[in-house]
Structures are given as structure tokens and as C-alpha cells.
Structure 1
Amino acid sequence: MNVVAYEALPMRVVFGPGSLARLGEETDRIGLRRVLVLSTPGQRGLAERVAAVLGDRAVGMHDRARRHVPVPTVDEAAKTATEVAADGCVAAGGGSTIGLAKAVALRVGLPYVALPTTYAGSEMTPVWGLTENARKRTGRDRAVLPAAVVYDPDLTSTVPAAVAAVSGLNAIAHAMEALYAPDGSPVVAAMAERGIRDLASALPTLAAAEADDAARASALEGAWLCGACLGATTMGLHHKLCHVLGGMLDLPHAETHAVVLPYVAAFNLPAAPDADAAVRRALDGPDAADGLRDLAARLGAPLSLAELGVERSQLDLVVEETLSAPYANPRPIRHEDLVRLLEEMRSGCWR
């Protein structure tokens, strides 16, 4: 038995249908009196609903969150927070909004409450990312953890089926990498396997746009668990590739994860037999990588980087950037391996 270390993150989670109504209690609990509500432009309606729930606590709305958290977007949000004298934020939406809240917390120290509406699970991690000059920088800092996460499955009822599918695959990628991370533990492994199973069982129902309260709750629980796994472990090749592709080529974040997931699984899992067995159990199938690819196809997710607009001529720079800094991975990554892997991802060529 290996020596392991596991450090639980200081996260408060409120989960259940109708939990949005408790948002005011949660902001009061952490002492927020002047709250700025963050969202994307497309989630302006949700931001207005959140402001109504907060009542006099809400002092403004900022609906300018963007994917990959560009530095100018953070500058603008921090300026707005200062102008309204906010003492905290509520991040209402998916990964783009939560990423902005993390950046504002890092920049000006404002605590925030996360109100997730997709299944990626980034709200459970101390991982932040900023994009500047087509390069995405990431780091880990407990200062970016939300003071509370309010999971309300009712809020995911209007999430488009395509968004539900790719955000759930994004969360599954978190769990897969946690299973072979060098700083994993039995606690993380148990959460990862359960999270993958929850999402794999719920996502086909949600991708079919069926009104299923149980499936929405199960997917959100899976996102919670998978995000917590990522928050406790080191990221590997999958996340490195997604950060490079997203920051350099401005690709949609969750869709990129969906494409990359089965290819990195096929590359890494043979070198991580325990992780491979856990993913196979969670998917209830004989082959982990094939199971992930089949799941993505069933969900109607993109299956190639070409579908996201990536040109062959762009891959060389992606290879160089990915190899430019060392990172943990269960299998050594050679230049020729990465070239082949990216070419297969771009074309959608599956073994």
C-alpha cells in the first residue's frame, strides 16, 4: 500500500431543488452586504433573477463574462466591483462566469458564492485561468475557492442539451485525470468513479432533452464529485492540451474537453491500470477509451478538432506550447507521440 495524503478543501455546499431561494442566507452567512452579480451576456436573465432573490443585497450586475477569462474582461469586472463598492460576488452560470469570479477574487480579494448552471464542476477547484496574448496561464490558489456553492438542479432545466453534454464530458475528464494523478488517494478515487458513473448514466437523458428531474440532480452530483477530484489532485496531459488549445486558438472550452477526452484516455490509461479499471467499472464496459468515445457519440458531442475549426497548420505551435513546461502524466510524452495524437484528434480518426 502506498503512502497517500489527502487534504479536504474548505468548501460549503448547499444542494437540492429550490436552493436558489437560500442564496440570501448564504451571502448573509459569509457577511456580504453589497453583492455584484456576475454572468455571461446570455445569462442576463438568470442574473436578474438572482438579483431579485438577493434584494437590497444586490448592488449591480456585470454580464460580461467570457470563455477562457481574457485579462481585459477581468479588468472590466474589477473596475465595476470597485465602482459599486461591492464586498462580494455571486457567479451565476457556467465555467466562464465562475472563472471570472475566481479571477476577481484573485485580483481584488472579493469572496463569492458560486451558483453553477452547467456540469463542468470548476466551482469545486482552486484552479484559476487567465488568457492574455493567446496564451492561457493557470494556477492553483485557495483564494479563488468560492465561500459557498449553491447547487440547484432546477436551474439546469433550461440548459441546452448540447451544453449539458459537453460540460458533463468536461467533468468526466477531471475525474479521469484525478484517477491517475501522482497525488491521488482512495478518497479521490472513490469520488471519481462515482462521479463518472453518475454523469455517464444521466447525460444521455439530458442530451435527449428529456425533462427528468432525477437525471439533472444526478448529473449535478456527478459534477460536484468530479470537480472536487480535480481540486484535490494534479492535472496531466488532458488538461494541459485543453488549456493550450483553448488559450491559443480560442476554442470553446467544454467542446474541446469532449474531443480530447477519449484520445488522452487511450494514450494514458494503459499506463495506469487502476485508473483504467475504475473508468471501465464506471462506464460498465470492457474498454475505457472506447466507452468514452461511444458516450460522446451518443451525446452528439463533437468528435474532432476539425469540427471546432482547427487547421492542420495550427498543430505545430500547439505541440511546442504543450511540451514547453513539464507536468505530471502517467506516461512519458514524446514529441512524435503528441504530433500523432493531435493529428488523430483533428481528423477524428479513431483506432
Structure 2
Amino acid sequence: MSRNFTYLANPARVIFGEGTLSQTADELERLGVNRALLLSTEFQGEDAQALSKSLGARSAGVFSEAAMHTPVDVTDRAMRRFEESGADGVVSLGGGSTIGLGKAIALRNDAPQLVIPTTYAGSEMTAIIGQTEGGQKTTQSTPRVLPETVIYDVDLTLGLPEAMTVTSGMNAIAHAVEAIYAENANPVLSLMAEAGISALTDALARLSTGDPRDREARSDALYGAWLCATCLGLGGVALHHKLCHVLGGSFDLPHAETHTVVLPHALTYNMPAIPDAVERLKRATGSENPAAALFDIAKNAGVPTSLRELGMPEDGIERAIQLTLENPYYNPRRLEAAPLETLLHNAWEGRRPE
């Protein structure tokens, strides 16, 4: 291996398996957390309440107002609850919205975080936080928001609806796809990314065509999601994530669904500039056209494949391009307005990459 590279692992304690939710109290004690504020969305509020009850005096209550794209005003309310409850740590039970709220609290007060993911989104393994204020989403990376402990419990994913399974899984795959050609890409991350994409694409196919409660397939999907999330935390991002941040923050589009729609088209844009990465993606997806293979996963599952279906106005494309070019992320292919317009029109219409 003649290529120079730097590999830096993020510190985290990961517990993976079935029935691991029962270890929450022990893990809080290990972290030195006496009273944890439990975070969730309204949809998962009952699950958070049940976990709170099981924790007894170690719970400081439940805040179930987590929302997409981590709005600053929601964080303000959560901070007041945190302070009023006498909490000294947080437990985030849910997907990216809830995990993002936990990170936003930690960014302000450095509270220890125990995260229990119930989707495949992957935010739990990263030091990245995105927050929305005034219709614009901004992101930053800081070790302050990296969760200390993550509990992966396969049981919590068994009832994940098919649509959410696929869109959340595609969100995770996007992390690994970009890690292969991101600015901080290296051979170790490329191995993890290829393995994660392979595990997830295979598991999503099995769950879409077979038993959605298949424990082995769910375990493979969660394992793949962990690998993909680790890649996001260490490898960095490129055009795909920039577009998703712009589209989500500016047009209030659903996070996982936006990743699902944009990924095949962002990959198509970059493929001419990343021949080595394309070979890895061909192996991982078992296809000569990885972008089309990813599009087909969504199409075959019946989830949205166009920005139009997500409610984005066509006349918003020009604004999205402007915001993307104003503060661009690293990307292996130069960002230019005309090809970006083609990319976004294809994504808006839901065209299959050829």
C-alpha cells in the first residue's frame, strides 16, 4: 500500500445485540449519570415513557418534542426542561431527529449522551450536528456532540414500517457511499463502507420481499447501518449531503426521504470522477450501475423517488443551486451550476439514472 492516509477513530462504547435495551440503567451508571432526561419524538413518546418508568429515579422525565432538522427553538425548550428537571445527562431514543436534539443539548452544556437508535439513520456515530433556524440549516463538527455510549437493540427495529426501513436504510447507505470518495477517505474506511453498503442493500431486499420481522435480516441491516454511520463519523461528506442539507433546511423536506431521492443522482454526478470508488460500489451493490441499483431499491419498495413527491416546488431548484454553490462542501468533481441543475431536475422528476 503506497498511498498515504490518516485514520482517526472516534471514541465510543457500542453495545450491539438483541434485548440490549435492558442495559440502559447500567450504562447510565457507567457514565456517571444520576438523572437522565429522555428524548424522543411525539410519535415515540410512549416508548420513551416506558423506558423512563423502567429507569425509576434515574429518569428525570421525558421530552418528546424532537423534530426534523433540529430546530433551534425546540432545543431552547428542551434546555429549559433539562435545567428544571435537574438532569445531568440525556438518553436519546429514536432516529436522527431525536439524536440531533440530544447533540444540540450536549453542544450547549456538554451533557453525557446515551443513544438508543431505532432506525438506521446513523447520527449516533458522528461528531456532526445540523441545526435549523430562520429556514436555513447549518452544520458543524465538534467532539462535544459525539455520544459516549450507543446501544443497538435489534428488537427495537422489528416493527419499523417498510417505508421507513427503506428510506432510513438508504440514508445510512448514503453515508458510506460518500465516505469512499470524501476528502478524508482512506483504505480502512473504504473496507467498512463497502461492507456496510453490501450488508444493508442485501438486508433491505430481503426485508422488502420477505418477512419484515426477520431477525437475521434486521440484525444484518442494523449492523450495516452501524458500519455506514461509522464511515460518516470518520470520512466526511460531499455533494450528496450538501444537497440534502440545503433541501431539507430550505424546503422542510423529510430527512431520510430526501436522502433516498437525491443519492442516485448525486452519485451519478460524481461517478466520472471516482473510478476506483465506482468499482467498490459495483461490488457492494452487485450491479454494473450502482446509482441505478440504489434507485431501484427505493422504486421497488414503493417509497418516493422524486423531490416532487416530497413537496419541493420546481421553482425552488434555482435557489437550491445558489445555496449549494455559496458554501460548497468538498467534492471530487467540480461543482458547476448547469450540471447541478440537470441533477436536481432529474431528482425532482424522479428519473432513473442510466
Could you state the TM-score of these two structures normalised by the residue count of structure 1? 0.98
- Report which stretch shifted further, 291-300 or 189-198: 291-300
Give the counterpart letter for 1:4 in structure 2: F
Match of 2:322 in 1: 320
Task: Give deviations 1:189-238, integer Å, cap 9, x for gaps.
Answer: 01100100111011123335622001111111111000100100221000
Match of 2:155 in 1: 154
Match of 2:121 in 1: 120
Q: Does 1:190 align with 2:191?
A: yes
Residues of 2 paired with 1:40 and 1:159: CA distance? 15
Residues of 2 paired with 1:327 and 1:40: CA distance? 30
Contact 2:183–2:237 (Cα < 8 Å) also in 1: no
Match of 2:266 in 1: 264
- Report which stretch shifted further, 239-248 or 314-323: 314-323
SS at the partner of 1:69? Answer: coil
Q: What is the RMSD of the two structures over their aligned residues, measured on CA atoms?
A: 1.0
Q: State the Cα distance separating 1:299 from its structure 2 match.
A: 2.3
- Report which stretch shifted further, 292-301 or 133-142: 292-301
For residue 254 of structure 1, the aligned residue among 250, 253, 256 is 256
- Report which stretch shifted further, 209-218 or 253-262: 209-218
Q: State the Cα distance separating 1:298 from its structure 2 match.
A: 1.9
Q: Does 1:280 align with 2:282?
A: yes
SS at the partner of 1:307? Answer: coil
Task: Give deviations 1:72-111, integer Å, cap 9, x for gaps.
Answer: 0000001100000100010000000000000000012111
SS at the partner of 1:266? Answer: helix
Q: How many residues are paired up?
A: 351
Unaligned runs of 5+ in 1: none
Match of 1:337 in 2: 339
Contact 1:203–1:299 (Cα < 8 Å) also in 2: no
Match of 1:292 in 2: 294
Contact 1:38–1:89 (Cα < 8 Å) also in 2: yes
Residues of 2 paired with 1:294 and 1:108: CA distance? 43
Could you state the TM-score of these two structures normalised by the residue count of structure 2? 0.97
Q: State the Cα distance separating 1:243 from its structure 2 match.
A: 0.2
Contact 2:67–2:74 (Cα < 8 Å) also in 1: yes
SS at the partner of 1:162? Answer: helix
- Report which stretch shifted further, 289-298 or 160-169: 289-298
Q: State the Cα distance separating 1:54 from its structure 2 match.
A: 1.6
For residue 222 of structure 1, the aligned residue among 221, 224, 236 is 224
Match of 1:179 in 2: 180
Residues of 1 paired with 2:55 and 2:206: CA distance? 33
Residues of 2 paired with 1:11 and 1:133: CA distance? 33
Q: State the Cα distance separating 1:46 from its structure 2 match.
A: 1.1
Match of 2:87 in 1: 86
Give the counterpart letter for 2:242 in structure 1: K
Q: State the Cα distance separating 1:316 from its structure 2 match.
A: 1.0
Contact 1:60–1:84 (Cα < 8 Å) also in 2: yes
Q: Does 1:26 align with 2:27?
A: yes
Residues of 2 paired with 1:68 and 1:49: CA distance? 26
Match of 1:42 in 2: 43
Match of 1:109 in 2: 110
Contact 2:198–2:284 (Cα < 8 Å) also in 1: yes
Residues of 1 paired with 2:157 and 2:100: CA distance? 18
Match of 1:138 in 2: 139
Q: State the Cα distance separating 1:159 from its structure 2 match.
A: 1.3
Task: Give deviations 1:254-308, integer Å, cap 9, x for gaps.
Answer: 0000000100111112211111111110111111111111122122221110010
Residues of 2 paired with 1:337 and 1:70: CA distance? 31
Give the counterpart letter for 1:206 in structure 2: L
Contact 1:130–1:137 (Cα < 8 Å) also in 2: yes
SS at the partner of 1:261? Answer: helix
Contact 2:158–2:212 (Cα < 8 Å) also in 1: no
Residues of 1 paired with 2:3 and 2:144: CA distance? 30
Give the counterpart letter for 1:63 in structure 2: S
> What is the identity percentage for the equivalent residue pairs of Structure 1 and Structure 2?
46
Contact 1:23–1:53 (Cα < 8 Å) also in 2: no
Unaligned runs of 5+ in 2: none
